[in-house]
Amino acid sequence: MALWQGRFKKELNEQVNDFNSSLPFDNKLFKEDIIGSIAHATMLGDTEIIPKEESDIIVVELTKMLDEEFVFEGAEDIHTFVEQELTKRLGDLGKKLHTARSRNDQIATDLRLYLRNEINEISELLVHLIKVLEEKGTDDIMPGYTHLQRAQPITFAMHLGAYIAMFKRDLSRLADCKKRMNECPLGSGALAGTKHPIDRIQTATLLGFDKPCDNTLDGVSDRDFCVELASAISLIMVHLSRFSEEIIFWCSSEFKFVELDDAFATGSSIMPQKKNPDIAELVRGKSGRAFGNLQTLLVMLKGLPLAYNKDMQEDKEAIFDSIDTAKMCLLSFTPMIETMKILPQNMLNASKHGFLNATDVADYLAEKGMPFRDAYKIVGEIVGYCIDNNKTLEDLTIEEYKGFSNIFDTDIYEEISLENCVKVRNK
């Protein structure tokens, strides 16, 4: 039975009823709906809006329901399901639970409770990934790239450190999102509050919110917190996708900087030699889901007048999918990184080609008094000479160096060693 029956003379069209129902996906909020209802019922009794002994009975029954298994069917949404189940057990007493409450402030509260917990879980997964990256980082020398061209020598730890910095920003964004999310909509009613003498501070406190929402219209119609979380997750997925792209490069024969553990790679149905980085490719591909969900939320909200509109039912599938996608990717990606084998000799060999220490030659001349732009030009000429003669900067004799400038001396060889190039950099 729909909670809104009474005004209507006809049953809802069966196909429309299925279209209208959110129970197939908002059943995720079952526990949050119960927890929110327990806080609401407690407040109703404490404020004597309903007799205290009745609110206590409702709380006891709701608490029992928390530990029971249900088949979610036969209701328009999770709020209707819970109320109908409570009424089956308590009769008319169960119908008193909805006093001074609307499904509008109910769903806004349930969703914040659920997303708050999910932020905690995603944050824990990110913290674990950061720890793995910190432990995986080594001082092995590898090429740093710009434009996918070898640029300057760096350490493997420095490269992983860039992703550590990204994931730490992700943690900060999640914390900020959670802080803004942590306001309680209960008591907003449908949009204009309620005439009952409710205690919004009590319900907010019982549910672990910092305070009630400041404005009741905003309390029921705000979904900024969904957009903000979807945005934060999208950036997490951007970072995972970028990292995945590099893993895919690194484990190819052309790079061979790392080798994935067999448990985190797959083979080919026709080519027996293949070892494919499917986990990294899937993470890279699934990032698109998160971006699409963010777009869904933005477009859904952009034209909505205040306060609640049924369009907002579309928020849940989008944000739930973003959360599930991010968690699934992190749960697969982190152990893939943890178990992959680093091939330091291959990274070092790659660093010895491509004149990664050319900037250090220019810096050497600049430190000895030559204007940097002049030094840059001379080193460009030296690199051209090396290419023409199939040499590296380390191969040149001091006489060849002096042919370009008398400033060069034998200390140039120490300056351009890859180990020194890495060691003297400001990081």
Please give the C-alpha separations between residue 152 and each of 311, 350, 359, 380, in angstroms, as whole numbers.
Answer: 52, 11, 8, 15
| Sequence-separated (6 or more) residues with CB below 8 Å from residue 203 | 39, 40, 42, 43, 184, 186, 187, 212
Positive or negative, the CA dihedral 345, 346, 349, 350 is: negative
Preceding peptide of 280 cis, ω within 30°? no
| Sequence-separated (6 or more) residues with CB below 8 Å from residue 209 | 112, 182, 183, 184
**DSSP 8-state class, residue 262:** G
For the question of residue 147 being annotated catalytic, the response is yes
Do the strands 183-184 and 211-212 form a parallel or antiparallel pair, or are they unpaired?
A: parallel
- Residue 75 has phi, psi (to 5 degrees) of -145, 160
Which of 128, 231, 244, 268 is labelled catalytic?
Answer: 268
Other CB atoms closer than 10 Å to residue 255's CB: what's the count? Answer: 17
Residue with tokens 């996918």: 148
Q: Which residues pair with 152 in a beta bridge?
A: 144
SS3 content of the chain, % helix, strand, coil (to 5): 65, 5, 30
E strands, 49-122, in order: none
User: How far out from the chain centre does Cα 215 lie?
Assistant: 29
For the question of residue 268 being annotated catalytic, the response is yes
Cα–Cα distance measured from residue 147 to residue 354, given in angstroms and rounded to the nearest whole number: 13
Cα–Cα distance measured from residue 270 to residue 283, given in angstroms and rounded to the nearest whole number: 24
Which of 21, 37, 98, 147 is labelled catalytic?
Answer: 147
Write out the catalytic residue numbers: 147, 268
